[in-house]
């Protein structure tokens, strides 16, 4: 079990780093958004076009990156929306069983289905070097690739969560890095 917990910790570190990167993108997104607004009004004032479709699309792409890269990080921190009317009152064993059922019956199959149905679209986008239809727009194929990256990271984090829940079921003592503060322990 120790080997698998080491794998889970590696996955957790990966998604923690990527999640922190995505939180850093929020500041860039706000900066681009502020510039887009200022450019529109300042451009009208000085009779120059300071805005562009590329800047608007960068704002959309940054939002998509934050969402895509933050999904596994949010799962790691039990931040996804869920209904836990019963879950919060269960003991850790019942919570671990519920988490494992959720991971194996819902999360992983859904992620694999998304990958299965989207990889061909992403590949086609790369083959034709798909561009935005807007004048001065950005390439679409890199951002479409983030669907595959995001759901792959979600699969990895689901595996990590599954390993940690199996360890709980086997009464394996958690490492200090496996402990979740009580206020974050919402379950799956």
Per-residue pLDDT of the chain (188 residues; tens, 9 = 90+): 899 999 999 999 999 999 999 999 999 999 999 998 898 888 888 888 777 889 999 999 999 999 999 999 999 998 887 777 888 888 999 999 999 999 999 999 999 999 999 999 999 999 999 999 999 889 999 999 999 999 999 999 999 999 999 999 998 766 555 545 444 444 44
Full-model pTM: 0.84
Whether 32 and 58 have beta carbons less than 8 Å apart is answered as: yes
Residue 139 pairs in a beta bridge with 131
102 half-sphere exposure, CB direction, 13 A CA radius:
18
SS3 131: strand
Q: How far is CA 20 from CA 66, 78, 83, in A?
A: 10, 15, 26
CA nearest to 25, candidates 52, 56, 53, 60: 60
CA 120/CA 140 separation, integer angstroms: 14
């Amino acid at each position: 079990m120790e080997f698998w917990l080491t794998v889970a910790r590696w996955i957790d570190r990966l998604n923690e780093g990527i999640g922190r990167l995505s939180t850093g993108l929020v500041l860039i997104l706000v900066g681009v958004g502020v510039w887009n607004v200022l450019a529109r009004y300042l451009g009208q004032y000085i009779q120059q076009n300071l805005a562009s479709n590329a800047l608007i699309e960068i704002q959309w792409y940054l939002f998509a990156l934050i969402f895509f890269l933050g999904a596994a990080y949010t799962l790691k921190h039990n931040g996804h929306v869920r209904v836990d009317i019963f879950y919060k009152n269960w003991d850790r064993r019942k919570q671990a069983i519920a988490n494992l059922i959720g991971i194996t019956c819902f999360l992983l199959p859904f992620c694999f289905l998304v990958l299965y149905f989207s990889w061909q679209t992403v590949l086609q986008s790369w083959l034709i070097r798909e561009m935005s239809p807007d004048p001065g727009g950005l390439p679409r194929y890199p951002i479409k690739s983030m669907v595959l990256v995001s759901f792959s990271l979600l699969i990895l984090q689901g595996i990590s969560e599954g390993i940690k829940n199996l360890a709980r079921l086997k009464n394996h003592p958690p490492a200090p890095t496996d402990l979740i503060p009580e206020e974050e322990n919402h379950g799956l």
